[in-house]
Chain A
Amino acid sequence: MNKVITINLNGNAYQLEEGGFEALRAYLDGAARRLDGNPDRDEIIADIEQAIADKCRGMLGTYKTVLSAKEVGLIIEEMGPVEDASAGADADPAAGATAPGGTRPETAGTESKAVPPVRRLYKIPHGAMSPGVCNGLAAYFNIDVSLVRFLFLLFTVFWGIGCVAYVLLIFLLPTAKTPEEKAAAQGPPPTAQEFIRRAKEGYYEGMKAFADKQAHREWRRKFHREMRGWRRAFHHEMRANTRHWQQGFVPHWAPGFQPGIGAWFALPFVSILRAGLALLWIVALVSLLATGAVFGVLLPAGIPVWAGVLCLFAFYLVLAWPLKAMRRAYYWNAAGGPFFAPPFIYAFDAFIGIGFVVVLLWLAGHHLPQIHEAFRNIPPLVHEAVNAVKDWWAAR
Protein backbone atom coordinates (compact mmCIF):
# COMPACT_ATOMS: atom_id res chain seq x y z
CA MET A 1 0.00 0.00 0.00
CA ASN A 2 1.44 3.34 -0.99
CA LYS A 3 0.48 6.92 -0.35
CA VAL A 4 -0.98 8.65 -3.38
CA ILE A 5 -0.45 12.29 -4.27
CA THR A 6 -2.61 14.22 -6.68
CA ILE A 7 -0.82 16.67 -8.91
CA ASN A 8 -1.83 19.29 -11.42
CA LEU A 9 0.02 19.02 -14.71
CA ASN A 10 -0.77 22.00 -16.89
CA GLY A 11 -4.42 22.02 -15.82
CA ASN A 12 -5.06 18.28 -15.47
CA ALA A 13 -5.15 16.25 -12.26
CA TYR A 14 -3.17 13.03 -12.01
CA GLN A 15 -2.61 10.67 -9.11
CA LEU A 16 0.91 9.40 -8.48
CA GLU A 17 2.50 7.21 -5.86
CA GLU A 18 4.61 9.22 -3.47
CA GLY A 19 7.95 8.00 -4.85
CA GLY A 20 6.85 8.89 -8.36
CA PHE A 21 5.78 12.31 -7.20
CA GLU A 22 9.20 12.97 -5.67
CA ALA A 23 11.00 11.84 -8.81
CA LEU A 24 8.76 13.95 -11.03
CA ARG A 25 9.22 16.99 -8.86
CA ALA A 26 12.99 16.56 -8.93
CA TYR A 27 12.83 16.24 -12.72
CA LEU A 28 10.72 19.36 -13.21
CA ASP A 29 12.74 21.37 -10.67
CA GLY A 30 15.93 20.34 -12.44
CA ALA A 31 14.42 21.31 -15.80
CA ALA A 32 13.36 24.71 -14.47
CA ARG A 33 16.81 25.31 -13.05
CA ARG A 34 18.58 24.36 -16.23
CA LEU A 35 16.33 26.68 -18.21
CA ASP A 36 17.01 29.52 -15.82
CA GLY A 37 17.66 32.67 -17.81
CA ASN A 38 15.85 31.33 -20.86
CA PRO A 39 13.15 33.86 -21.80
CA ASP A 40 10.77 31.02 -22.76
CA ARG A 41 11.34 29.07 -19.58
CA ASP A 42 7.73 29.01 -18.39
CA GLU A 43 6.43 28.11 -21.80
CA ILE A 44 8.89 25.23 -22.20
CA ILE A 45 8.01 23.93 -18.75
CA ALA A 46 4.32 24.10 -19.64
CA ASP A 47 5.01 22.18 -22.86
CA ILE A 48 6.95 19.56 -20.94
CA GLU A 49 4.23 19.23 -18.32
CA GLN A 50 1.72 18.81 -21.11
CA ALA A 51 3.84 16.11 -22.73
CA ILE A 52 4.16 14.30 -19.39
CA ALA A 53 0.40 14.61 -18.90
CA ASP A 54 -0.18 13.02 -22.33
CA LYS A 55 2.07 10.11 -21.42
CA CYS A 56 0.34 9.71 -18.06
CA ARG A 57 -3.03 9.58 -19.77
CA GLY A 58 -1.73 6.91 -22.09
CA MET A 59 -0.89 4.70 -19.11
CA LEU A 60 -4.19 5.15 -17.27
CA GLY A 61 -7.55 3.57 -17.94
CA THR A 62 -10.96 3.06 -16.39
CA TYR A 63 -9.67 0.56 -13.86
CA LYS A 64 -6.23 2.06 -13.44
CA THR A 65 -6.31 5.51 -11.93
CA VAL A 66 -2.95 5.76 -10.17
CA LEU A 67 0.52 5.85 -11.68
CA SER A 68 3.16 3.79 -9.90
CA ALA A 69 6.60 5.16 -9.10
CA LYS A 70 8.05 2.83 -11.71
CA GLU A 71 5.75 4.13 -14.42
CA VAL A 72 6.66 7.70 -13.57
CA GLY A 73 10.33 6.70 -13.83
CA LEU A 74 9.64 5.28 -17.31
CA ILE A 75 7.93 8.51 -18.36
CA ILE A 76 10.83 10.61 -17.12
CA GLU A 77 13.26 8.38 -18.95
CA GLU A 78 11.21 8.75 -22.10
CA MET A 79 11.20 12.51 -21.76
CA GLY A 80 14.98 12.67 -21.49
CA PRO A 81 17.01 15.33 -19.74
CA VAL A 82 15.98 18.90 -20.48
CA GLU A 83 18.78 20.74 -22.23
CA ASP A 84 18.80 24.44 -22.71
CA ALA A 85 19.31 24.82 -26.46
CA SER A 86 20.23 28.49 -26.19
CA ALA A 87 22.86 28.02 -23.51
CA GLY A 88 26.29 29.23 -24.55
CA ALA A 89 28.39 26.82 -26.57
CA ASP A 90 25.54 24.52 -27.59
CA ALA A 91 25.40 23.67 -31.24
CA ASP A 92 23.67 26.39 -33.18
CA PRO A 93 21.38 24.71 -35.68
CA ALA A 94 22.03 27.38 -38.29
CA ALA A 95 25.78 27.72 -37.76
CA GLY A 96 26.55 25.96 -41.02
CA ALA A 97 24.61 28.48 -43.08
CA THR A 98 25.74 31.68 -41.43
CA ALA A 99 29.41 30.98 -40.70
CA PRO A 100 30.82 28.47 -43.12
CA GLY A 101 34.46 29.03 -42.18
CA GLY A 102 34.05 29.10 -38.42
CA THR A 103 34.97 25.65 -37.23
CA ARG A 104 35.04 25.75 -33.48
CA PRO A 105 38.19 24.28 -31.98
CA GLU A 106 36.36 22.15 -29.43
CA THR A 107 34.34 20.33 -32.07
CA ALA A 108 37.35 19.88 -34.31
CA GLY A 109 40.01 18.63 -31.97
CA THR A 110 38.31 16.59 -29.28
CA GLU A 111 37.89 13.07 -30.47
CA SER A 112 37.76 11.63 -27.00
CA LYS A 113 35.32 14.18 -25.58
CA ALA A 114 31.92 13.94 -27.20
CA VAL A 115 30.38 14.76 -23.83
CA PRO A 116 30.29 18.44 -22.89
CA PRO A 117 33.08 19.41 -20.46
CA VAL A 118 31.12 19.29 -17.20
CA ARG A 119 32.85 20.48 -14.11
CA ARG A 120 35.11 17.96 -12.45
CA LEU A 121 37.51 18.08 -9.56
CA TYR A 122 41.10 18.42 -10.66
CA LYS A 123 44.38 19.50 -9.21
CA ILE A 124 45.32 22.79 -10.86
CA PRO A 125 49.06 23.29 -10.46
CA HIS A 126 49.09 26.68 -12.18
CA GLY A 127 49.30 29.40 -9.53
CA ALA A 128 49.16 26.90 -6.69
CA MET A 129 51.48 26.60 -3.71
CA SER A 130 51.87 22.81 -3.75
CA PRO A 131 50.15 20.12 -5.83
CA GLY A 132 47.10 22.29 -6.61
CA VAL A 133 44.49 20.55 -4.49
CA CYS A 134 43.22 23.78 -2.93
CA ASN A 135 43.24 25.48 -6.32
CA GLY A 136 41.12 22.71 -7.82
CA LEU A 137 38.63 22.77 -4.95
CA ALA A 138 38.40 26.55 -5.16
CA ALA A 139 37.62 26.31 -8.88
CA TYR A 140 35.06 23.59 -8.26
CA PHE A 141 33.18 25.61 -5.66
CA ASN A 142 33.97 28.90 -7.37
CA ILE A 143 35.36 30.49 -4.20
CA ASP A 144 38.61 32.09 -3.13
CA VAL A 145 41.72 29.85 -2.89
CA SER A 146 42.86 31.49 0.33
CA LEU A 147 39.63 30.45 2.02
CA VAL A 148 40.12 26.81 1.01
CA ARG A 149 43.70 26.87 2.25
CA PHE A 150 42.55 28.42 5.51
CA LEU A 151 39.88 25.72 5.98
CA PHE A 152 42.41 22.95 5.38
CA LEU A 153 44.72 24.54 7.90
CA LEU A 154 41.90 24.87 10.41
CA PHE A 155 40.88 21.23 10.04
CA THR A 156 44.50 20.13 10.29
CA VAL A 157 45.28 22.10 13.42
CA PHE A 158 42.13 21.20 15.31
CA TRP A 159 41.17 17.74 14.17
CA GLY A 160 43.94 16.40 12.01
CA ILE A 161 41.38 15.39 9.40
CA GLY A 162 42.45 18.18 7.06
CA CYS A 163 45.88 16.66 6.72
CA VAL A 164 44.54 13.20 5.90
CA ALA A 165 41.98 14.56 3.45
CA TYR A 166 44.66 16.63 1.75
CA VAL A 167 46.99 13.68 1.28
CA LEU A 168 44.10 11.54 0.01
CA LEU A 169 43.12 14.21 -2.49
CA ILE A 170 46.69 14.53 -3.76
CA PHE A 171 46.56 10.90 -4.80
CA LEU A 172 42.92 10.70 -5.88
CA LEU A 173 42.57 13.82 -7.99
CA PRO A 174 43.92 13.84 -11.51
CA THR A 175 45.92 16.89 -12.56
CA ALA A 176 44.38 19.22 -15.11
CA LYS A 177 46.95 19.19 -17.89
CA THR A 178 45.24 19.54 -21.26
CA PRO A 179 43.13 22.59 -22.13
CA GLU A 180 39.97 20.42 -22.01
CA GLU A 181 40.74 19.24 -18.53
CA LYS A 182 41.42 22.80 -17.46
CA ALA A 183 38.10 23.83 -18.94
CA ALA A 184 36.40 20.92 -17.20
CA ALA A 185 37.87 22.01 -13.88
CA GLN A 186 35.81 25.19 -14.15
CA GLY A 187 32.90 23.96 -16.28
CA PRO A 188 29.24 23.45 -15.42
CA PRO A 189 28.49 21.00 -12.58
CA PRO A 190 28.26 17.27 -13.41
CA THR A 191 25.06 15.44 -14.33
CA ALA A 192 23.86 11.91 -13.81
CA GLN A 193 25.10 10.87 -17.25
CA GLU A 194 28.56 12.05 -16.32
CA PHE A 195 28.62 9.84 -13.23
CA ILE A 196 27.39 6.86 -15.20
CA ARG A 197 29.93 7.52 -17.95
CA ARG A 198 32.75 7.64 -15.44
CA ALA A 199 31.59 4.41 -13.86
CA LYS A 200 31.46 2.76 -17.27
CA GLU A 201 34.92 3.94 -18.14
CA GLY A 202 36.25 1.98 -15.22
CA TYR A 203 36.91 5.10 -13.22
CA TYR A 204 36.61 2.95 -10.13
CA GLU A 205 38.93 0.28 -11.41
CA GLY A 206 40.54 -0.04 -8.00
CA MET A 207 37.47 -1.72 -6.56
CA LYS A 208 37.98 -4.77 -8.73
CA ALA A 209 40.91 -5.91 -6.64
CA PHE A 210 38.38 -6.99 -4.06
CA ALA A 211 36.87 -9.54 -6.42
CA ASP A 212 39.68 -11.91 -5.63
CA LYS A 213 37.51 -14.55 -3.93
CA GLN A 214 40.24 -16.30 -2.06
CA ALA A 215 41.65 -13.15 -0.47
CA HIS A 216 38.16 -11.94 0.29
CA ARG A 217 37.19 -15.14 2.11
CA GLU A 218 40.47 -15.20 3.98
CA TRP A 219 39.95 -11.61 5.05
CA ARG A 220 36.40 -12.35 6.20
CA ARG A 221 37.43 -15.35 8.25
CA LYS A 222 40.13 -13.38 9.96
CA PHE A 223 37.71 -10.54 10.53
CA HIS A 224 35.13 -12.83 12.21
CA ARG A 225 37.75 -14.37 14.43
CA GLU A 226 38.92 -10.95 15.52
CA MET A 227 35.36 -9.82 16.13
CA ARG A 228 34.61 -12.83 18.32
CA GLY A 229 37.74 -12.25 20.36
CA TRP A 230 36.95 -8.61 20.70
CA ARG A 231 33.33 -9.28 21.73
CA ARG A 232 34.45 -11.66 24.44
CA ALA A 233 36.97 -9.18 25.74
CA PHE A 234 34.37 -6.45 25.63
CA HIS A 235 31.78 -8.45 27.63
CA HIS A 236 34.42 -9.36 30.13
CA GLU A 237 35.40 -5.74 30.38
CA MET A 238 31.80 -4.56 30.72
CA ARG A 239 31.16 -7.00 33.57
CA ALA A 240 34.34 -5.95 35.28
CA ASN A 241 33.42 -2.32 34.97
CA THR A 242 29.76 -2.50 35.94
CA ARG A 243 30.72 -1.98 39.53
CA HIS A 244 32.70 1.13 38.72
CA TRP A 245 29.92 2.54 36.57
CA GLN A 246 27.44 2.00 39.37
CA GLN A 247 29.62 3.75 41.90
CA GLY A 248 29.98 7.43 41.14
CA PHE A 249 29.56 7.04 37.32
CA VAL A 250 33.28 7.31 36.63
CA PRO A 251 34.56 5.52 33.56
CA HIS A 252 37.50 3.58 34.70
CA TRP A 253 39.18 1.32 32.23
CA ALA A 254 41.11 -1.46 33.81
CA PRO A 255 44.79 -1.09 33.04
CA GLY A 256 45.00 -4.76 32.17
CA PHE A 257 42.59 -4.41 29.24
CA GLN A 258 44.48 -4.95 26.03
CA PRO A 259 42.22 -4.27 23.05
CA GLY A 260 44.67 -5.82 20.63
CA ILE A 261 43.66 -6.09 17.03
CA GLY A 262 39.97 -6.23 17.93
CA ALA A 263 39.98 -2.53 18.64
CA TRP A 264 41.32 -1.92 15.17
CA PHE A 265 38.11 -3.36 13.85
CA ALA A 266 35.80 -1.85 16.41
CA LEU A 267 37.23 1.61 15.97
CA PRO A 268 36.15 1.95 12.33
CA PHE A 269 32.61 0.97 13.29
CA VAL A 270 32.47 3.67 15.90
CA SER A 271 33.89 6.08 13.37
CA ILE A 272 31.37 5.04 10.76
CA LEU A 273 28.54 5.44 13.24
CA ARG A 274 29.78 8.87 14.10
CA ALA A 275 30.25 9.85 10.48
CA GLY A 276 26.72 8.65 9.74
CA LEU A 277 25.41 10.64 12.64
CA ALA A 278 27.23 13.76 11.46
CA LEU A 279 25.84 13.24 7.97
CA LEU A 280 22.33 12.85 9.35
CA TRP A 281 22.80 16.03 11.28
CA ILE A 282 23.90 17.94 8.21
CA VAL A 283 20.93 16.62 6.23
CA ALA A 284 18.60 17.65 9.04
CA LEU A 285 20.22 21.08 9.17
CA VAL A 286 19.93 21.60 5.44
CA SER A 287 16.31 20.48 5.38
CA LEU A 288 15.57 22.78 8.31
CA LEU A 289 17.13 25.76 6.57
CA ALA A 290 15.63 24.96 3.19
CA THR A 291 12.10 23.90 4.10
CA GLY A 292 11.64 24.82 7.75
CA ALA A 293 11.01 21.17 8.61
CA VAL A 294 13.23 18.34 9.86
CA PHE A 295 12.43 15.01 8.19
CA GLY A 296 8.92 16.25 7.56
CA VAL A 297 8.36 17.50 11.11
CA LEU A 298 7.59 21.21 11.10
CA LEU A 299 9.06 23.49 13.75
CA PRO A 300 6.43 24.59 16.25
CA ALA A 301 5.08 28.04 15.40
CA GLY A 302 6.83 30.87 17.22
CA ILE A 303 10.20 29.16 17.41
CA PRO A 304 12.67 30.92 15.12
CA VAL A 305 14.87 28.93 12.79
CA TRP A 306 18.08 29.77 14.63
CA ALA A 307 16.67 28.24 17.81
CA GLY A 308 15.83 25.13 15.80
CA VAL A 309 19.42 24.97 14.59
CA LEU A 310 20.71 25.29 18.14
CA CYS A 311 18.37 22.51 19.32
CA LEU A 312 19.55 20.28 16.48
CA PHE A 313 23.15 20.94 17.40
CA ALA A 314 22.55 20.14 21.06
CA PHE A 315 20.74 16.97 20.07
CA TYR A 316 23.64 15.96 17.87
CA LEU A 317 26.16 16.57 20.65
CA VAL A 318 24.16 14.44 23.07
CA LEU A 319 23.96 11.58 20.58
CA ALA A 320 27.59 11.84 19.52
CA TRP A 321 29.00 12.07 23.03
CA PRO A 322 29.03 8.36 23.91
CA LEU A 323 30.63 7.52 20.58
CA LYS A 324 33.24 10.15 21.13
CA ALA A 325 33.95 8.80 24.60
CA MET A 326 34.28 5.31 23.20
CA ARG A 327 36.76 6.44 20.57
CA ARG A 328 38.79 8.27 23.15
CA ALA A 329 38.84 5.14 25.27
CA TYR A 330 40.28 3.19 22.37
CA TYR A 331 42.95 5.78 21.77
CA TRP A 332 43.86 5.64 25.43
CA ASN A 333 44.18 1.91 25.37
CA ALA A 334 46.05 1.80 22.13
CA ALA A 335 48.53 4.35 23.38
CA GLY A 336 48.55 3.69 27.08
CA GLY A 337 47.25 7.12 27.98
CA PRO A 338 45.77 10.35 26.73
CA PHE A 339 47.49 12.46 24.08
CA PHE A 340 50.07 9.82 23.30
CA ALA A 341 48.21 7.96 20.60
CA PRO A 342 50.51 7.53 17.63
CA PRO A 343 49.35 9.74 14.77
CA PHE A 344 48.79 6.85 12.42
CA ILE A 345 45.87 5.67 14.54
CA TYR A 346 44.17 9.00 14.00
CA ALA A 347 45.01 8.79 10.32
CA PHE A 348 43.54 5.29 10.07
CA ASP A 349 40.41 6.40 11.89
CA ALA A 350 39.96 9.50 9.75
CA PHE A 351 40.60 7.48 6.60
CA ILE A 352 37.79 5.03 7.47
CA GLY A 353 35.41 7.85 8.41
CA ILE A 354 36.02 9.86 5.26
CA GLY A 355 35.90 6.78 3.06
CA PHE A 356 32.53 5.79 4.48
CA VAL A 357 31.05 9.23 3.94
CA VAL A 358 32.37 9.36 0.38
CA VAL A 359 30.92 5.95 -0.48
CA LEU A 360 27.57 6.85 1.09
CA LEU A 361 27.36 10.16 -0.74
CA TRP A 362 28.36 8.54 -4.00
CA LEU A 363 25.64 5.90 -3.65
CA ALA A 364 23.05 8.52 -2.72
CA GLY A 365 24.00 10.76 -5.62
CA HIS A 366 23.85 7.84 -7.98
CA HIS A 367 20.51 6.38 -6.97
CA LEU A 368 18.33 9.16 -5.55
CA PRO A 369 17.27 11.85 -8.02
CA GLN A 370 16.64 14.42 -5.25
CA ILE A 371 20.08 13.94 -3.74
CA HIS A 372 21.58 14.08 -7.18
CA GLU A 373 19.90 17.40 -7.85
CA ALA A 374 21.09 18.64 -4.47
CA PHE A 375 24.69 17.74 -5.38
CA ARG A 376 24.39 19.68 -8.60
CA ASN A 377 23.48 22.73 -6.56
CA ILE A 378 26.32 22.50 -4.08
CA PRO A 379 28.93 24.51 -6.03
CA PRO A 380 26.65 27.52 -6.72
CA LEU A 381 25.26 27.35 -3.15
CA VAL A 382 28.75 27.41 -1.61
CA HIS A 383 29.65 30.26 -3.93
CA GLU A 384 26.55 32.22 -2.88
CA ALA A 385 27.09 31.56 0.81
CA VAL A 386 30.71 32.73 0.68
CA ASN A 387 29.70 35.82 -1.25
CA ALA A 388 26.97 36.61 1.26
CA VAL A 389 29.48 36.44 4.12
CA LYS A 390 31.92 38.57 2.12
CA ASP A 391 29.26 41.20 1.45
CA TRP A 392 28.29 41.23 5.06
CA TRP A 393 31.92 41.67 6.06
CA ALA A 394 32.39 44.48 3.58
CA ALA A 395 29.19 46.27 4.59
CA ARG A 396 29.94 46.06 8.28
Chain B
Amino acid sequence: MGVNEKFTPIRKGLLGFLLLKIISADKVYVADILRQLKGTEFATQEGTLYPLLSKMRREKLLDYEWKESDAGPPRKYYELTARGREQLRETSDYWQRISGTVKSLGQPPAS
Protein backbone atom coordinates (compact mmCIF):
# COMPACT_ATOMS: atom_id res chain seq x y z
CA MET B 1 0.00 0.00 0.00
CA GLY B 2 1.15 3.50 -0.78
CA VAL B 3 2.18 6.30 1.51
CA ASN B 4 -1.08 8.01 0.65
CA GLU B 5 -3.26 5.34 2.25
CA LYS B 6 -0.92 4.90 5.18
CA PHE B 7 -1.47 8.50 6.14
CA THR B 8 -5.25 8.46 5.77
CA PRO B 9 -5.93 8.49 9.55
CA ILE B 10 -3.33 11.17 10.12
CA ARG B 11 -4.77 13.39 7.40
CA LYS B 12 -8.21 12.86 8.85
CA GLY B 13 -7.00 13.93 12.27
CA LEU B 14 -5.24 16.99 10.90
CA LEU B 15 -8.24 18.20 8.91
CA GLY B 16 -9.81 19.92 11.92
CA PHE B 17 -6.54 21.72 12.61
CA LEU B 18 -6.34 22.91 9.01
CA LEU B 19 -9.94 24.11 9.13
CA LEU B 20 -9.07 26.20 12.18
CA LYS B 21 -6.12 27.64 10.27
CA ILE B 22 -8.12 28.40 7.14
CA ILE B 23 -11.00 29.97 9.03
CA SER B 24 -8.67 32.00 11.24
CA ALA B 25 -7.28 33.82 8.20
CA ASP B 26 -10.59 35.11 6.89
CA LYS B 27 -14.32 34.54 7.05
CA VAL B 28 -14.97 31.77 4.58
CA TYR B 29 -17.83 29.66 3.30
CA VAL B 30 -17.62 25.98 2.45
CA ALA B 31 -16.83 26.36 -1.24
CA ASP B 32 -13.87 28.61 -0.26
CA ILE B 33 -12.56 25.97 2.09
CA LEU B 34 -12.89 23.24 -0.52
CA ARG B 35 -11.09 25.42 -3.04
CA GLN B 36 -8.21 26.06 -0.65
CA LEU B 37 -7.83 22.38 0.16
CA LYS B 38 -8.17 21.28 -3.44
CA GLY B 39 -4.91 20.19 -4.97
CA THR B 40 -3.32 19.64 -1.57
CA GLU B 41 -2.96 16.29 0.18
CA PHE B 42 -6.02 17.28 2.18
CA ALA B 43 -8.50 17.61 -0.69
CA THR B 44 -11.90 16.76 0.70
CA GLN B 45 -15.60 16.75 -0.11
CA GLU B 46 -18.77 18.32 1.24
CA GLY B 47 -19.90 15.01 2.65
CA THR B 48 -16.97 15.05 5.07
CA LEU B 49 -16.76 18.78 5.62
CA TYR B 50 -20.28 19.66 6.73
CA PRO B 51 -20.47 17.10 9.55
CA LEU B 52 -17.00 18.11 10.74
CA LEU B 53 -17.86 21.83 10.70
CA SER B 54 -21.05 21.24 12.62
CA LYS B 55 -19.18 19.18 15.19
CA MET B 56 -16.62 21.94 15.64
CA ARG B 57 -19.41 24.46 16.00
CA ARG B 58 -20.94 22.28 18.70
CA GLU B 59 -17.60 22.31 20.48
CA LYS B 60 -17.83 26.11 20.27
CA LEU B 61 -14.61 26.35 18.25
CA LEU B 62 -16.29 28.28 15.48
CA ASP B 63 -19.46 30.07 14.59
CA TYR B 64 -21.13 31.20 11.42
CA GLU B 65 -23.25 34.03 10.11
CA TRP B 66 -25.50 34.21 7.10
CA LYS B 67 -24.41 36.57 4.36
CA GLU B 68 -26.26 37.49 1.20
CA SER B 69 -24.49 36.54 -2.00
CA ASP B 70 -25.04 38.02 -5.44
CA ALA B 71 -25.00 34.58 -7.09
CA GLY B 72 -27.70 32.64 -5.28
CA PRO B 73 -29.12 32.13 -1.80
CA PRO B 74 -27.40 33.42 1.36
CA ARG B 75 -24.30 31.53 2.47
CA LYS B 76 -22.92 30.50 5.81
CA TYR B 77 -19.66 32.28 6.53
CA TYR B 78 -17.62 30.64 9.27
CA GLU B 79 -15.39 32.41 11.78
CA LEU B 80 -13.41 31.31 14.84
CA THR B 81 -14.58 31.93 18.38
CA ALA B 82 -12.18 32.88 21.17
CA ARG B 83 -12.04 29.24 22.10
CA GLY B 84 -11.29 28.23 18.53
CA ARG B 85 -8.36 30.66 18.41
CA GLU B 86 -7.08 29.28 21.71
CA GLN B 87 -7.36 25.74 20.33
CA LEU B 88 -5.57 26.78 17.13
CA ARG B 89 -2.70 28.25 19.13
CA GLU B 90 -2.31 25.12 21.23
CA THR B 91 -2.51 22.83 18.22
CA SER B 92 0.00 24.93 16.26
CA ASP B 93 2.48 24.75 19.14
CA TYR B 94 2.04 21.05 19.38
CA TRP B 95 2.44 20.66 15.63
CA GLN B 96 5.66 22.65 15.79
CA ARG B 97 6.98 20.27 18.41
CA ILE B 98 5.98 17.21 16.38
CA SER B 99 7.53 18.40 13.16
CA GLY B 100 10.63 19.43 15.08
CA THR B 101 10.89 15.90 16.43
CA VAL B 102 10.36 14.38 13.00
CA LYS B 103 13.12 16.55 11.56
CA SER B 104 15.65 16.08 14.34
CA LEU B 105 15.39 12.35 14.95
CA GLY B 106 17.83 10.20 13.01
CA GLN B 107 20.12 13.13 12.22
CA PRO B 108 23.78 12.85 13.12
CA PRO B 109 24.23 14.58 16.48
CA ALA B 110 25.01 18.26 15.99
CA SER B 111 28.35 19.15 17.47
Query: Which residues of A approach B to under 8 Å, CB–CB?
Result: 10-12, 31, 35, 38-40, 43-44, 47-48, 50-51, 53-54, 57, 78-86, 90-97, 100, 107, 111-112, 114-115
Asked whether A80 and B46 contact (CB < 8 A) given A94-B87, A97-B90, A112-B1, the answer is yes
CB of B8 closer than 8 Å to a CB of A: yes
Kindly state the separation between the CA atoms of A50 and B30 in the bound complex, as whole angstroms. 11
Beyond A47-B76, A85-B48, A93-B52, 11 additional pairs, beta carbon < 8 A: A10-B73, A54-B31, A79-B45, A85-B55, A91-B12, A92-B13, A93-B16, A94-B59, A94-B87, A96-B95, A114-B9
Residue B45 contacts which of A78, A90, A95, A112 (CB distance < 8 angstroms)?
A: A78
What chain B residues lie within 8 Å of A91 (beta carbons)?
A: 9, 12-13, 15-16
B6 touches A85 (CB 8 A): no
B12 touches A97 (CB 8 A): no
CB of B24 closer than 8 Å to a CB of A: no
A83 touches B13 (CB 8 A): no
Which of A31, A38, A51 has most chain B Cβ within 10 Å? A51
B15 touches A48 (CB 8 A): no
A80 touches B45 (CB 8 A): yes
A44 touches B50 (CB 8 A): yes
Residues of chain B from 2 to 55 with CB closer than 8 A to chain A in the complex: 5-6, 8-10, 12-17, 19-20, 30-31, 44-48, 50-52, 54-55
A97 touches B87 (CB 8 A): yes
B46 touches A85 (CB 8 A): no
Asked whether A94 and B16 contact (CB < 8 A) given A12-B73, A47-B76, A112-B1, the answer is yes
B interface, by DSSP: helix, strand, loop or mixed?
A: helix
Asked whether A84 and B51 contact (CB < 8 A) given A78-B45, A79-B46, the answer is yes
Residue A114 contacts which of B5, B46, B54 (CB distance < 8 angstroms)?
A: B5
B47 touches A79 (CB 8 A): yes
Nearest chain B residue, comparing its CB with the CB of A50: B73
B94 touches A82 (CB 8 A): no
- In the complex, the number of residue pairs spanning A and B with C-beta atoms less than 8 Å apart equals 108
Would you mind naming 12 contact pairs between A and B with Cβ atoms under 8 Å apart?
A40-B55, A40-B58, A79-B45, A82-B47, A82-B50, A85-B48, A85-B52, A92-B13, A94-B61, A97-B91, A111-B6, A112-B1
The 10 tightest CB contacts between A and B, nearest first, are A93-B16, A80-B45, A80-B47, A91-B13, A40-B54, A85-B52, A97-B90, A82-B47, A114-B8, A85-B51
Kindly state the separation between the CA atoms of A83 and B44 in the bound complex, as whole angstroms. 12
We find that the number of chain B residues with CB closer than 8 angstroms to chain A is: 40
What chain A residues lie within 8 Å of B94 (beta carbons)?
A: 96-97, 100
Kindly state the separation between the CA atoms of A38 and B50 in the bound complex, as whole angstroms. 12
B15 touches A93 (CB 8 A): yes
Which of A11, A78, A84, A96 has most chain B Cβ within 10 Å? A96
B95 touches A93 (CB 8 A): no
Kindly state the separation between the CA atoms of A44 and B49 in the bound complex, as whole angstroms. 10
B81 CB to nearest A CB, Å: 14
What chain A residues lie within 8 Å of B44 (beta carbons)?
A: 80
Nearest chain B residue, comparing its CB with the CB of A34: B51
Kindly state the separation between the CA atoms of A81 and B44 in the bound complex, as whole angstroms. 11
CB of B72 closer than 8 Å to a CB of A: yes
Asked whether A96 and B73 contact (CB < 8 A) given A80-B44, A82-B47, A85-B55, the answer is no
Residue B30 contacts which of A51, A84, A86, A112 (CB distance < 8 angstroms)?
A: A51
What chain A residues lie within 8 Å of B16 (beta carbons)?
A: 91-94
What chain B residues lie within 8 Å of A38 (beta carbons)?
A: 51, 54
What chain A residues lie within 8 Å of B19 (beta carbons)?
A: 93
A233 CB to nearest B CB, Å: 56
Nearest chain A residue, comparing its CB with the CB of B2: A114
A48 touches B90 (CB 8 A): no
B17 touches A96 (CB 8 A): yes
Nearest chain A residue, comparing its CB with the CB of B92: A97
What chain B residues lie within 8 Å of A44 (beta carbons)?
A: 50-51, 54
Kindly state the separation between the CA atoms of A47 and B53 in the bound complex, as whole angstroms. 11
What chain B residues lie within 8 Å of A97 (beta carbons)?
A: 87, 90-91, 94
Residue A93 contacts which of B1, B6, B13, B58 (CB distance < 8 angstroms)?
A: B13
Which of B5, B8, B13 has most chain A Cβ within 10 Å? B13
